[in-house]
Amino acid sequence: MAEESILTDDFLRELMNVGEVDILVGMPTYNDAATVGQVVQAVRAGLIKYFPRQRAVIINADGGSKDATPELVRAASISDLRQPSGLTALRTLHSISTQYPHGGENGQALRLLLAAADLLRAGACVVVSADSVNIEAEWLDRLLRPITNGSADLVTPLYHRHRFDGLLVRNLLYPMIRAMYGKRVREPYPSEFAFSGRLGSYLLGQDIWSEDGGNSGAEICITISALAGNFQVAESFLGSRGRIEHGPADLVHAMRQTVGVSFWLLDPTFPAWSATTGSQPVPSSGGGPQVTLEPLRINRKRLHQMFQVGVAELEPVLKSILAPPTLAELQKEAAAPQETFRYPDDLWVRTVYEFAASYHKSVISRDHIIQALAPLYRGRAYTFLVENIDATGEQTENKVEDLCLTFERLKPYLLEMWDGRK
């Protein structure tokens, strides 16, 4: 059995002591001591307040922290030997910690949590990020309730987001996944999400965990697998989400984890997405996504420059990926001065689809394909910033909706390329 290889004997012994549970809270960590304390407190408060009768466990999958993160998680336990002051709990709450084998790769942590959930026969599982500094006890209720009342198998979050936060999600992941699988999931790459035991067992049995996708982009794997597997997906509004900044993001790495995994999953899920047209909203609770408008300093000039340089330097690579008309149009836009440069929806969608088809056909190294998409995405991000610089929240949302519709409208184009008709 696959899970036997990832669960240590000590961890198994701890699971044995936990026994069957109704709710499993999973918390992947890596050197999160600065924030994990308040997160586990919120989790514990949420369990006691909203699920006092359910058997619950907090499981920390740690990537080898050197800052005592696991000890902080374990301290959340409630037992007959440890009853935190001010809290009255009906039940014992185990909070246990284990290390996952490949430090840094979240997929291994999630796989470990799935295996634990399967062994403990957890009816509902929620994964929370250890750096969610805004987490509140209510999040547990909002994420888990649709699972425990049987109305959903996967619950993804909705947040207050700044209009320029999550550009990759708004310009590529959300619209493309929506167009592919026909469900409007605003946060397909969630930091917090909940899933049913049924979906967890299904995911654990999927042949995705030995691949790079399952290792590095497990969250998006879970969303797409649920959509393609026809599981019920719902959204819950959580409010603002604050995070600790860990330094400048590595765009290529982020794209491997998200876009790369989305492209990779197009192969195994082809029967599902190829038969889907249009899209439907998923049930949501607590309100829709909300956009905040505070001023934000972004170096647009540098974005544009990186786009231009990328198009020029990667021309040989782009020639092997993009159709000639698309490449020509792209180069024409790249030649425009910054003031007038725009990466229009139609061209962006065709670019993405041609990259996806090339990834499918492995026209060159798949990793090179993802790397080549990074500078083009910068051009698209620049366009989004410029077009929405003075927009209201509603106008920004309308722009995103227009892009989504373009992805849906041009989906036949992807299908033609996919089966070689183009």
Which of 10, 19, 250, 277: binder of other proteins (CB under 8 A)? 19
Which of 17, 151, 210, 230: binder of other proteins (CB under 8 A)? 17
Cβ nearer to other proteins, comparing 16 with 336: 16
Minimum Å distance from CB 120 to other proteins? 12
Minimum Å distance from CB 26 to other proteins? 20
The reply on whether position 151 binds other proteins by CB under 8 A is: no
CB-based contact 175:404 (threshold 8 Å): yes
CB-based contact 59:119 (threshold 8 Å): no
Cβ nearer to other proteins, comparing 43 with 120: 120
Cβ nearer to other proteins, comparing 53 with 246: 53
Locate 12 and state its tokens: 């198994």
Which 25-84 positions form the footprint of other proteins (CB under 8 A)? 52-53, 55, 79-81, 83
* Axis crossing angle, helix 197-204 with helix 218-228, rounded to the nearest 10: 110
| Cα dist from 292 to 160, 235, 295, 396, whole Å | 7, 19, 9, 10
The reply on whether position 20 binds other proteins by CB under 8 A is: yes
Residue range at the interface with other proteins (CB under 8 A); choices 91-99, 229-237, 326-334, 389-397: 91-99
Minimum Å distance from CB 189 to other proteins? 36
Cβ nearer to other proteins, comparing 1 with 81: 81
Which of 5, 85, 88, 299: binder of other proteins (CB under 8 A)? 88
Strand (E) or helix (H) holding 356: helix 345-361
CB-based contact 247:168 (threshold 8 Å): no
The reply on whether position 87 binds other proteins by CB under 8 A is: no
Ordered DSSP codes for 57-116: EEEEEES--SSSHHHHHHTT-BSSS---TT---SS-BEEEEEE-SSTT-HHHHHHHHHHH
The reply on whether position 14 binds other proteins by CB under 8 A is: yes
Which of 3, 41, 91, 344: binder of other proteins (CB under 8 A)? 91
Query: Angle at the Cα of 229 (from 214 to 46), degrees rounded to 5?
Result: 70
Cβ nearer to other proteins, comparing 140 with 227: 140
Minimum Å distance from CB 256 to other proteins? 40
The torsion angle over the Cα atoms of residues 298, 299, 304 and 306, rounded to 10 degrees, is: -110
Minimum Å distance from CB 48 to other proteins? 9
Minimum Å distance from CB 16 to other proteins? 6
Minimum Å distance from CB 38 to other proteins? 24
How many distinct helices (H) and strands (E) make up the chain? 20, 11
Cβ nearer to other proteins, comparing 13 with 253: 13
Q: Please report the sign of the dihedral spanned by the C-alpha atoms of residue 224, residue 227, residue 232, residue 233.
A: positive
Which of 90, 296, 328, 335: binder of other proteins (CB under 8 A)? 90
Cβ nearer to other proteins, comparing 140 with 370: 140
Which of 2, 10, 16, 309: binder of other proteins (CB under 8 A)? 16
Nearest to 204 by CA among 112, 339, 79: 112
Strand segments (E) across 148-200? 154-162, 183-184, 193-196
Find residue 146's DSSP bridge partners: none
Question: What secondary structure letter does DSSP report for 123?
Answer: S
Minimum Å distance from CB 15 to other proteins? 11
- The two beta strands, 193-196 and 154-162, are antiparallel
The reply on whether position 92 binds other proteins by CB under 8 A is: yes
Minimum Å distance from CB 18 to other proteins? 8
Cβ nearer to other proteins, comparing 85 with 299: 85
- Amino acid, res. 252: V
Separation between Cα atoms, residue 227 and residue 177, nearest integer Å = 9
Please give the residue ranges that form the binding site for other proteins (CB under 8 A): 13-14, 16-17, 19-20, 52-53, 55, 79-81, 83, 88-92, 94
